[in-house]
Structure 1
Amino acid sequence: MEIIAGIDVGGTFTDVLLYHAVSGELRLAKVFSTPGAQADGLLTGLRQFEVPLAELDAVVHGTTVATNAVLERKGSRTALVTTRGFRDVLELRRRDRPTTYGLTGTYRPLVPRSLSFEVDERVDAQGNVVEPLSPATVEAVAAKLRESEVESVAICLISSHANADHERSLAHELRRLLPGVEVTASFEVCPEPGEFERAATTAANAFVRAPMSRYLGAVQERLGEQGFAKDVQVMQSSGGLIPARRGGELAVRTLLSGPAAGTVAAAAFGAAAGLPDVISCDMGGTSFDVALIPGGRPAVTAESALDYGVPIKVPMIDITTIGAGGGSLASVDRAGILQVGPESAGSDPGPACYGRGGTRPTVTDANIVLGRISADQRLGTQDGFRLDREAAVEAIRAHVAGPLGLDVTAAALAIIRFANEKMANAIRMVSVDKGHDPREFALVGFGGAGPMHVAELARAVGATTVLVPPHPGALSAYGCLIADVKYDYVTAVGTDVGECTPAVVERILADQAELGRKTLESDGFTGPDVVVEHIAEMSFSKQLYSIRVPLGSERDGWTSARLAEEFSREYLAIYNGRNPSGAIRLISLRTVVTGKRKPVKQVTAVSAERAPAGERTVVFSDGTHTVPVLRRESLRSGETLRGPLIVEQSDTTIVLPPATSAAVHENGSLIVKVAS
């Protein structure tokens, strides 16, 4: 029997789904995350199934280790080595500001200037060697790195995307001279033009490489001690998987690991319900992650800023993240204005109602005060965890209601409205700001807190359809179950389209495809399980940003006229306007090679809890209602529900406000209609 475990480690909870391929059974465990020791929560969840780990055929993991290391600046002690005269590349960045009219900023590079070192060498933009790499400066830099006691080194030499020979030699020598120090070269992670973006991406990889390698190594070792003999698979930011043995070396590709998994699953459930155009809305305990999924395929960007001044130039699902989760703290600032987030209570101590030592109010506390979550309800599958409504009431009274002169119920409603407006603005950022009308999309609500808010978010942005998957609180773990293994290769070209012959394009694409096939073969994928897709990064001459032009699986016959035609078609589709005149540049060629895994059936997670239906008092914006409370397991395909209504399950609570209705899809999803 093939058994697969999908695991998502979030800021508050760790979600584990166990899928039995033969029976189609899906089992859920939801336990507290263990900050600083994420492997502990992962193993706690797996142990709840009482299935020997030796019987597992695959363990697929989404993690926030790399993300947290960058955001909290808790990575390795990292140095940057670059060409003489360019040690300030990370400080100079693009001279932008965090706010357009702001006069100050809080930018702090991952590598301080004191740990930036230079070597004598120079390659020009065409890849010609202007000055050879000096062996003497390599020795001198190695001595300085040793003296500085660095744990990791990022190498980014000028124009190495055009000729990586110097960078390759330097990396080889530093690895020889500095045993035990992690070395990352830009040609290995980001062989593309754009000096600052390439340096920032390489520095980020070096910064998180050691902690990610240690973490994945610990997970692999601890699972191995209990009988699991295969490679752990890790979710990448692009929505594809990579073996843990490579995940440490390419840690920068896992920065949006967990959110990417949820987006992959949201696209799958949207397509199954006949809703190809969806917006994924993942509200967990710490953050709200939103992504546009037009035509059933998550939008992918070649560059994204994880934090101000830290652009990451690797393929990533285009996800916008804000600090608005169930654990987001509510407070009143010195001006007497309510604030919600971005600070979060996390899992320790957690919201006040968790009874784990938290005393400050959160969005979850507001939901329990309003009756949207029951004090008797069990959240997750961890033993001994119950909610404390009185603690939530007292926290809101002391920190919000009292300072604002409101009663506790009005203060709780204000917290919910504030959080909802922040999340609605994030939805507008990924849709309206990019030329898409959110009214034409369905919202997919998931995460532990998402289904409580998604119907109200739809009303706020004008959407009329909402989809709630059958296991929304663990949808990112489900995304890990269904994702394919994926590798991405890029080669800088940097010429006008007219100067690039079909033979050159074919050679580059063929080399990339062959490398990808060999890598997938070592992972166990062959024949029809391997899918190849080519992409060209192109722009008009002197334009700063390029666009991705799909080339399909064909690698030959790409004449300059054909490339220009495909670029013009894609440009028109994106910008809906007349094409600018001027030469067209072929910036780079990219190949994505995918190893297709066996499909997973869309089934409802099994739960031991089957409590009878009941009712309770719930407060909405239009007043107080006595509403039915149903268990998710009691719903049947084709059934119609009408709000106001509460649906409970072990991983979340679904809130259907007044003027909504829902139909139960055959795979267990709820398709909610929201009156405008």
Structure 2
Amino acid sequence: MGAQRVAVDVGGTFTDVFVVDEDTKDFFVSKVPSTPDDPMRAVMAGVDRAGIDLSSVSLFSHGTTVATNALITRRFPPAAMVTTTGFRDVLEIRDGTRDDLWDAYEDVTPPYIRRRDRFEVPERIGYDGQVVTPLDEDEARRVARLLRRRGATTVAVCFLNSYANPAHEERMREILLEEMPEASVSTSASILPEIFEFERFNTTVANAVLAPLVSGYVDRLADELADGGYEGDLLLLHSGGGSMTPRMVSQYPVRLAASGIAAGAIACRAIATQCGFENAIGLDMGGTSTDICVVHGGELRVTKEWQVEYGHPITFPSIEVLTIGAGGGSLAWIDPAGSLRNGPQSAGADPGPACYATGGTEATNTDANLALGRLGTTLAGGAKALEPERAERALTEHVAEPLDMSLEEAAGAVLKVANANMSDAVRLVSIRRGLDPRDFALVAFGGAGALHGAEVAKELSIPTVIVPPNPGVTSALGCLLVDIRHDLSTMFSHHADEIDHDELEEAFTALEAEATERLLHEGVTAENAVLQRSINMRYAGQWRSLAVEVGSGAEALEEAVARFHEQHEREFVFRRDDAPVELYQIGLSAVGRTPKPAFPPHERTGTADPEPASRRRAWFEETGWVEVPVHDRDALPVGTTFAGPAIVDQFDSTTVVPPGTRAEIDEWLNIRIHLDASSAPGHDSKEA
């Protein structure tokens, strides 16, 4: 093979590898079990299993769960926070909201840094950037020495109003590094120079606790790749849908939280667009969870505030993805009222579903699919053997007998509850926002997405399901479709009709200078750099704001204000053209374009209803037990059509085509499942 582009995505159960040959445009995939104790072992095992010669790799992109898992498990290095006197408890006071408005007894999980590790220093910057109380350097040095004695390895410096004047934070950082040269120090003015101290403080604290963990992992992996012959930069996908090099990751590790989730959303948009759909819903179902994203008008929705755990916001732009506890390993259980539930608890990779025979004894979605014949007896090309007897035993013991059901009814009920949970989640991101799922295609991927996609689409009346060529490694593909990207912002509070355009231009120019420096630092040439300005606007007196893209000059601002009114009406169903508009914040997206793989369409050579590779008995609610054709996906050329019920097996996933639907292989090698079989290609009216 010629030069290769490689992407590796680490999931909760499997680590996926996607390799593209730059010359032939051919691609192949590999899949190995994840190693939660040290994800790098699975990354290198995937590289080895795929037979990759790292010296021939031109680009290596990586989506990682290291940051997300660290925030979930809270296995942090010794960390501390230094803040303005009187603001030690901002992290616990929070913003007064609750995840469940009606549960007064539910406590939010504690801050990432305990109260006893948060220290105060006398200083005060006013809202306008003027020094109200000078920094007490003697007290600052005393705190720094105390932290050194306590063994802190990473520190978050969060002073009030530092976004308006970072001088005190910068001096505090200098003092800390003088006393603790090996420590990692994150200042809120450099991480997130924005108003609202809780969001700024929490984002900085998250960055601080992740810095040693993420930097250590990234540096070790980069060294390992270099030892194997890779000469380029390791690119790491971040939550905003771009990538970063290790040099920038060391400064902004918090951006890697939700890294792999963003990759799946990016791949979903690319696949849907290629198939001619501007509106698509992504259903990425893995071993532990399901990630749902929405592509509307060809664009992914981006949110400015998100969280791994409720009550701990991370205020960086992130692709909006809804994650629920519904995966292949999600446990079926019966609540105290006798109702069947599914997830969010999961068997995960260890001990895994009962059918894995690795210690799990409770029934999971994977066990239900196996018991109903929808899954074969091996996964990942034979790397994982499944034992149907163990699956049936778990379902009988934990579901069928307690609910007085047959085995088939119990397994069907488990899948039905899982599908209902996913359908409800899709409704949250579509119908709740005024979007009709019937106007969308469903892109089903992940190791288990193709097993459930058609049933979820039926529940929502979505007419078309798209299953990518390698659904189990689609998120890894997404890692190859992103550019280097940085998002910068600064406060700029003025009424739109009172703007000093020279002042606005000066503020944007300062952001552009910093962005250009970052891109140059990452080896991006000027011709590959793209800078896009935006302004966060709101009606005067409002709290929430909307980001609107803007050019340069007075006319550009007027056009942006007009777009703000339109966007506000679309988002909140009303507009006030006569109300004064306030500029709240300016932002800049700095993109460094990277080469991306291109996949040419294939010629149509397939036929209708080809002879299957094999047949096996499978159970569906509409038909009961029935013998269904099992197709080998690699043997299905473009243009092939066949009716459900049918099953398509492949290395990284299994696709279920249920009764009453019809499937086709399109020119991009996707399986398109049409739920209205009478209008699908290759339909024979006599069959209907």
SS of 1:399's equivalent in the other structure is: helix
**Which residue of the partner structure matches residue 216 of structure 1?**
218
**Within 5 Å, which residues of 2 pair with 1:86-165?**
86-107=87-108, 108-165=110-167
Residue aligning to 1:266 = 268
Farther off after superposition, 614-623 or 562-571: 562-571
Q: Distance in 2 between matches of 1:77 and 1:382?
A: 43
Which residue is 2:173 aligned to? 171
Q: 1:307 matched to which residue of 2?
A: 309
Tell me the distance in 2 between the aligned counterparts of 1:21 and 1:471: 18
Which piece of structure 1 moves more, 490-499 or 25-34? 490-499
Unaligned 5+ segments in structure 2 are 603-610, 678-688
User: Which of 572, 575, 596 does residue 575 from structure 1 map onto?
Assistant: 572
Say if 1:281 and 1:290, in contact at 8 Å, map to a contact too.
Answer: yes
Aligned to 1:645: 646
Q: Report if aligned partners of 1:285, 1:325 keep a CA contact under 8 Å in 2.
A: yes
Q: What is the identity, as a one-letter code, of the residue corresponding to 1:613?
A: A
- Aligned match of 1:463: 462
Bigger Cα displacement from structure 2, 435-444 vs 495-504:
495-504
Q: Which residue of 1 aligns with 2:607?
A: none
Kindly provide the CA deviation profile for residues 223-269 of structure 1, in whole angstroms up to 9, marking residues without a partner as x: 22222232211001011010123223211111110010011011001
Q: Which residue of 1 aligns with 2:415?
A: 416
Q: Which residue of 1 aligns with 2:621?
A: 621
Map of 1:21-60 to 2, 5 A cutoff? 21-60=22-61
Task: State the TM-score, normalized to the length of structure 2.
Answer: 0.93
Q: Which moved more, 1:156-165 or 1:563-572?
A: 563-572
Deviations for 1:619-644, whole angstroms, at most 9, x for unmatched residues? Answer: 12223232111111112222222211
Equivalent residue number for residue 634 of structure 1: 635
1:590-609 → structure 2 map (5 Å cutoff): 590-602=587-599
Q: Is the contact between residue 381 and residue 650 of structure 2 (CA under 8 Å) also seen in structure 1?
A: no
Q: CA deviation at 1:165?
A: 1.5
Q: Cα RMSD (Å) of the superposition?
A: 1.9
Q: Give the Å deviation of 1:562.
A: 4.2
Counterpart-to-counterpart distance in 1, 2:273 and 2:83: 47
- Give deviations 1:93-150, integer Å, cap 9, x for gaps: 0111221110212322111211111111111112121111110121122133223322
Alignment of 1:18-417 (within 5 A): 18-107=19-108, 108-375=110-377, 378-381=378-381, 383=383, 385-417=384-416
Q: 1:245 to 1:559 in 2, by over 3 A?
A: closer
Cα shift at 1:305: 2.4
Q: Which residue of 2 aligns with 1:608?
A: none
Task: Encode CA deviations 1:167-194: one digit per residue, 9 max, x unaligned.
Answer: 1221222122212222111122211111
For residues 353-406 of structure 1, give each alpha carbon's deviation from its aligned partner in whole angstroms, at most 9, with x where no partner exists.
11222222111111101111012xx321474x2111111111111222222222
Match of 1:662 in 2: 663
Which residue identity is paired with 2:129? G
Q: Secondary structure at the match of 2:386?
A: coil
Q: Secondary structure of the residue that 1:470 maps to in structure 2?
A: coil
Report the CA distance between 1:43 and its aligned residue.
Answer: 0.6
Given that 1:445 and 1:454 are in contact with CA atoms closer than 8 Å, whether structure 2 keeps it comes out as yes
Partners of 1:30 and 1:382 within 8 A in 2:
no
- Partners in 2 of 1:657 and 1:360 — Cα distance? 26
Q: Output one character per residue of 1:538-587: Cα deviation in whole Å (capped at 9) or x when no partner.
A: 11223221111122xx3333576444323212212322323276432212
Query: Structure 1 CA distance, aligned partners of 2:578 and 2:114?
Result: 43
Contact 2:549 2:560 (8 Å CA) reproduced: no
Match of 2:682?
A: none
Q: How does 1:484-523 map to 2 (within 5 A)?
A: 484-523=483-522
CA contact (8 A) 2:612 2:629 kept: no
Deviation at 1:648, TM superposition (A): 0.9
CA contact (8 A) 2:568 2:575 kept: no
Measure, in 1, the Cα distance between the counterparts of 2:357 and 2:246: 36
User: What is the letter of the counterpart of residue 436 of structure 1?
Assistant: L
> Is 1:458–1:464's contact at 8 Å kept on the other side of the alignment?
yes
Aligned counterparts of 1:212 and 1:170: Cα–Cα separation in 2: 24
CA distance in 2, matches of 1:671, 1:559: 43
State the SS of the aligned residue for 1:285: coil
Q: Shift of the alpha carbon at 1:162?
A: 1.4
Shift of 1:618: 1.5
- For 2:653, the aligned partner's letter is T
Secondary structure at 1:99 match in 2 = coil
The answer as to 2:440 corresponding to 1:441 is yes
Contact 2:566 2:575 in 1 (8 A): no
Residues 578 and 555 (structure 1), Cα distance of their counterparts in 2 relative to 1, 3 Å cut: closer
Q: Once the two structures are superposed, what CA deviation does each residue of 1:315-337 show, in whole Å capped at 9, x if it has no partner?
A: 00011111111111112233322
Q: Distance in 2 between matches of 1:359 and 1:9?
A: 25
1:326/1:364 contact within 8 Å kept: yes
- Look up the SS of the partner of 2:232 in the other structure: coil
- The offset of 1:76, in angstroms, is 2.5
SS of alignment partner, residue 267 of structure 1: helix
Query: 1:147/1:581 Cα in 2 relative to 1: closer, same or farther (>3 Å)?
Result: farther
8 Å Cα contact 2:247/2:522 also seen in 1: no
Which range moves more in the overlay, 163-172 or 555-564?
Answer: 555-564
Count residues in correspondence: 666
Q: Hey, what's the Cα distance between the residues in 2 that align with 1:452 and 1:482?
A: 25
CA contact (8 A) 1:349 1:357 kept: yes
Structure 1: runs of 5 or more not aligned: 606-610
Contact 1:470 1:604 in 2 (8 A): no
Q: Which residue of 1 aligns with 2:583?
A: 586
Residue identity in the other structure for 1:655? V
Aligned residue type for 1:589: I
Paired residue secondary structure (2:345): strand
Which of 168-177 and 493-502 deviates more?
A: 493-502
Q: Deviations over 1:277-312 (max 9, x none)?
A: 111111001111111111222111111122110111
Counterpart-to-counterpart distance in 2, 1:68 and 1:126 = 39
Q: Partners in 2 of 1:529 and 1:641 — Cα distance?
A: 45
Q: Which residue identity lines up with residue 244 of structure 1 in the other structure? A: P
**Separation of aligned partners in 1, 2:601 and 2:365:** 27
Relative to the length of structure 1, the TM-score reads 0.95
- Given that 1:459 and 1:675 are in contact with CA atoms closer than 8 Å, whether structure 2 keeps it comes out as no
Does the Cα contact within 8 Å between 2:601 and 2:667 map onto a contact in 1?
A: no
Partner of 2:480, secondary structure, is helix
The whole-number CA distance in structure 1 between the counterparts of 2:135 and 2:310 is 33
Match of 2:540 in 1: 541
8 A Cα contact 2:328 2:365, kept in partner: yes
Report if the CA contact (8 A) 1:534-1:550 is conserved.
yes
Task: Summarize deviations over 1:596-626 as a string: whole Å, max 9, x none.
Answer: 1223123799xxxxx9611112112223232
